[in-house]
Structure 1
Amino acid sequence: MSQAEIGTITTQVPARLDRLPWSRFHWRVVIGLGSVWVLDGLEVTMVGNVAARLTEDGSGLDISAAQIGVAGAVYIVGACLGALFFGQLTDRLGRKKLFLWTLVLYLVATVATAFSFSPWYFFLCRFLTGAGIGGEYAAINSAIDELIPAKVRGRVDLVINGTYWLGSAAGSALSLVLLSTVLFPTALGWRLAFGFGAVLGICVLIVRRHVPESPRWLFIHGREEEAERIVRGIEERIEGEQGADLPAAEGSLTIRQRTAIPFREIAAVAFRTYPKRAVLCLALFVGQAFLYNGITFNLGVLLSSFYGVGAALAPLFIIFWALSNFAGPVVLGRFFDSVGRKPMIAMAYLGSALVTLPLAGVFLSEIGGLAAFMVLLVITFFLASSGASAAYLTVSEIFPMETRALAIAFFYAVGTAVGGIAGPLLFGTLIETGERVPVAIGFLVAAAVMALGGLAELVFGVRAEGRNLEDLATPLTAEEADGPEGADGPREDA
């Protein structure tokens, strides 16, 4: 381990980044990196909308409805494994390399999907597409939080994560056009749908090339001169925009630089030093994955089976629902920085769980019909979407910088594997019964899982609003002048 140490430095890079005012640079970060969520929302919704077309005669792909379900599971498995694989590479090789590599993988796999000719090939493409998206989550969330100023980190992160639903709405709207047999042949429309995702990805890649490596990652890995050059360049551009000098940064950090940090050390610190935070993140991720994947993958079928909404009209309802999900982080996001993480995250999880109770009642009793059901569904997910976005924000803030990408990958993978698979399977089975009582019970189970996430936040939540990332979790490489806290980590309730 000692041979990996290359020196000790004292730096103000974190303090300088956190005291920056909002600028064009930050907009570039948001557009270049945050767009991954739009791509994921587009992908998931697109496959759900084109599923029926793929099973039709003349689609050019001889695939059954059951195999479409397998493709969905394969995508999730790819996302989980991709997050874990690329997550540990992100901590080792840097944020920028990985957020470029994973986007390229997504682009290649998406283009390849458009040329699918058999189920096995379609499954392979969906696996690789999922791997690219899963890797994006780890690389992107770690980079965003390390580049965005502390005072607005919460609202920016929530809105960025919430843009998944803009992609979902766009996917539904696009499906209405591309799946029209009046405009496009049966075998062509769905292929163009996947091609559109690739075109959007290329635009993102062009912007992303100009987003720098995380200076925080650079100075820890012995590249302090490059980190200094990047930060100074950002400061000079902002001073040029404002026509005034920036205020002096306050505070510094002393660290032992390392070219490599053993995986066993990262894992030990992430899950032995911070066990309460680990429990918190698992509860948040499993709760949101269960609710969201259970409803998202089955909403069209639910509307059709119990409210008689035809396949042609279902995307319209999904667009309305998706936009309400985006509105949650946009409207509530600023309160996560002002009121605070702990009360707002708990409110989002517990509030959505409470609204699910009358939602189940309206569904069971059929009072108010489709209108009442949709209104309560919108309110439920208006709250839940902020909580779901905050799950990613939480895990990216409360673990040491050297473990950040891997921690995001781990909790995303476990939460998606547990909640993201169990939710769709449960709701799918209950909807298939054709009876309202079992489906209403499914809503109640989802409410209970979300409530557990809210309770975990009340007990183990961390007050992270406005605080420097290095204060929330001391870097593994930090040398503290006042004792061993740097090695053992700060208190978990810090």
Structure 2
Amino acid sequence: MSTKTTGQEPESSSSTGKGLRTITTDVPARMDRLPWSRWHWMIVIGLGTVWILDGLEVTIVGNLSEVLKSEDGLGLTSSQIGMAGAIYVAGACVGALGFGQLTDRFGRKKLFIITLLVYLTGTVLTAFSMNPLYYFAMRFVTGLGIGGEYAAVNSAVDELIPAKYRGRIDITINGSYWLGAAGGALLTIPLLDPNLIPAGIGWRLCFALGAFLGLAVLFVRRHVPESPRWLFIHGREDESEKIVADVERTVAEATGEELADVETTIKIKQRHTVGLARVARTVLKDYPRRTVLCLFLFVGQAFLYNAFFFTYGDTLQTFLDVDQTGVYIALFAVSNFVGALVLSPLFDKLGRVRMISGTYIVSGVLLAVAGLQLGNLTAASLTVFGMVVFFFASAGASSAYLTASEIFPMETRALCIALFYAVGTAVGGITGPLLFGRLIENADAAGDISGIAIGYYIGAGLMALGGVVAIFLGVGAEQKSLEDIAEPLTAKDAAEEAGSRDQD
């Protein structure tokens, strides 16, 4: 089957734009009925590696806390370490909002290339930091690129992956953040060994690591196509049809399966852009319950992760006499990835609501227990506690991105991801590192690690609350087409147009 048009004359520029039409297409159904193939693995590798880069960045900063405080580093304090984490997250928030809007307007592919280049620029220039102010500025630039990646890549992944696999793939890809975290933790061990590399050079090489991986990702991404869903909505249905036909041919040859015809179609009224007022009305008026759900999910996971993980290395070194934190953080990171990998299929089988609420509540309760026992824990036992807590929290945190990506109309997808990421991260991700940095300083002065427990309790409460909200407001989106979960705005426009003609 192919994209069909209604035969109407192109609409004037006073309507949705010059040359735009009302069309009927079967592209979403054709993409959703594809069996899994090597082509889909190319999408996963080309787009999913952004989280590995983010994990690499955050882990490197956490492991560099001691050297960055030293004369061989930049002479930072614990509060400034926390501030650097907050500035990185602030850059990610700004990048998500700015690039998110551009992603909906100019396409997924252009933006996931541009945002990767911004990240590469920021991380390379960070290696040349000569004072705290320059370091903070480059962390902000690096964050800009990562934040933009979240909006562009999540949109593209969900629009290219078949509905049957969308939950597990999205959760696993988001969980791959921890592969970067584990790799970064282990690589910093030799790079921070003064017997192997001078202390003033090793920490700079750590920041250059992300550039090498980023360049490899950039090479793979050249072969990732634009989202066919984005194309047919923006008046480029011929390009959309060509991409889908090529994908179908590639998948059929790779799997040896004959692809079944589809009968499901969708009628949309094409347009180039959706105004911010329309986006705001969609989020606040059309889907208020889903908006509340996403806010709670993002705030909870952002505070939990950015508070605990940004300062985990500093906690081990300050209170538990750990010189090299790499092994501890690598074990912690592996548990996070395994949690996402093992639990992700259940989001498609048991359903979104059960799994989101369950992972949030369980991880929240376990973190509260860790806070109560904090004064009795060693570096090893604290790490084990963290591994158990974040085995569940990793899948829960990843589900926040999945939720924001799939429960809002296609035309607003990237901006909605960006909005909730920015708001949730601004509340939880910026305040978390700042709070923990201050708690560590105060607890260190008092000589009592239990002084940071309040941060654990806040994170636990926010996660548990997010899980409770999911019970009442969660959306059963498992194995459903994106267009069935949230009707595209352009489909509503086409229906209104048809209703208007009927009245005439």
Whether the TM-score (by the shorter chain) exceeds 0.5 is yes
Which residue in 2 is equivalent to 1:144?
Answer: 157
In 2, the alpha carbon distance for the partners of 1:485 and 1:305 equals: 67
* 1:15-94 paired onto structure 2 within 5 Å: 15-59=29-73, 61=74, 65-94=78-107
Matches within 5 A, 1:16-415: 16-59=30-73, 61=74, 65-306=78-319, 308-312=320-324, 314-364=325-375, 366=376, 369-415=378-424
Q: Percent identity between the aligned chains?
A: 55
- Where in structure 2 are there 5+ consecutive unaligned residues? 1-13
Residue 52 of structure 1 and its aligned partner are, at CA, apart by 2.1
The Cα of 1:265 is off from its aligned counterpart by: 1.2
Q: CA deviation at 1:482?
A: 7.5
CA distance in 2, matches of 1:122, 1:301: 18
> Could you tell me whether the CA contact under 8 Å between 1:37 and 1:162 is conserved in 2?
yes
Give the Å deviation of 1:125: 1.4
In 1: Cα distance, 2:61 partner to 2:110 partner: 29
- Give a deviation string over 1:394-447, Cα, whole Å, max 9, x none: 000000000000000000001111011222233333333243554333322221
Superposition RMSD in Å:
2.1
Residues 1:363 and 1:52: Cα distance change in structure 2 (over 3 Å): closer
| Cα deviation 1:253-273 (Å, max 9, x = unaligned) | 000011222222122112221
The 1:402–1:322 alpha-carbon spacing in structure 2 relative to 1, beyond 3 Å, is same
Distance 1:250 1:108 in 2: 47
In 2 relative to 1, CA 361–44 (structure 1 residues): closer, same or farther, beyond 3 Å? same
DSSP-derived class of the 1:184 partner: coil
Cα deviation for residue 358 of structure 1 reads 2.6
SS of 1:151 mapped into structure 2? coil
Offset, 1:109: 1.6
Partner Cα separation in structure 1 for residue 259 and residue 386 of structure 2: 46
Does the C-alpha gap of structure 1 residues 447 and 475 become closer, same or farther in structure 2, counting only changes over 3 Å? same
The answer to whether the 8 Å contact 1:356/1:380 transfers is yes
Distance in 2 (alpha carbons) for counterparts of 1:137 and 1:453: 21
State the match for 1:477 in structure 2: 490
Distance 2:498 2:371 in 1: 49
Which deviates the most, 437-446 or 282-291? 437-446
Q: How far apart in 2 are the matches of 1:451 and 1:136? A: 28
Q: Which amino acid letter does the alignment assign opposite residue 37 of structure 1?
A: W
Moved more, 260-269 or 137-146: 260-269
Distance 2:419 2:187 in 1: 33
- Aligned pair partner of 2:435 in 423, 426, 430: 426
Conserved in 1, the CA contact under 8 Å of 2:85 and 2:433?
A: no
- Is contact 1:328–1:386 with CA below 8 Å preserved after alignment? yes
TM-score of the two chains, using structure 1 as the length reference:
0.93
User: For residues 106 and 481 of structure 1, do their structure 2 counterparts lie closer, same or farther at Cα, with a shift above 3 Å needed?
Assistant: closer
Distance 1:193 1:250 in 2: 53
Contact 2:269/2:493 (CA < 8 Å) preserved in 1?
A: no
Partners of 1:46 and 1:471 lie apart in 2 by 41
User: Matches of 1:338 and 1:278 in 2, distance apart?
Assistant: 24
Shift >6 Å, 4+ stretches? 480-487
Partners of 2:365 and 2:69 in 1: CA distance: 38
In 2, Cα distance between equivalents of 1:282 and 1:249: 36
Residue 82 of structure 1 aligns with an amino acid whose one-letter code is G
Letter in 1 for 2:58: V
Following TM superposition, by how much is the alpha carbon of 1:247 offset from its aligned partner in structure 2, in angstroms?
1.0
The answer as to whether partners of 1:270 and 1:400 remain within 8 angstroms in 2 is no
CA deviation profile, 1:11-63 (whole Å, cap 9, x unmatched): 0000000000111111011000000000001011112212322332244x565
Does the Cα contact within 8 Å between 2:82 and 2:436 map onto a contact in 1? no
TM-score, normalisation: structure 2 = 0.91
Cα distance in 1 between the residues matched to 2:388 and 2:86: 28
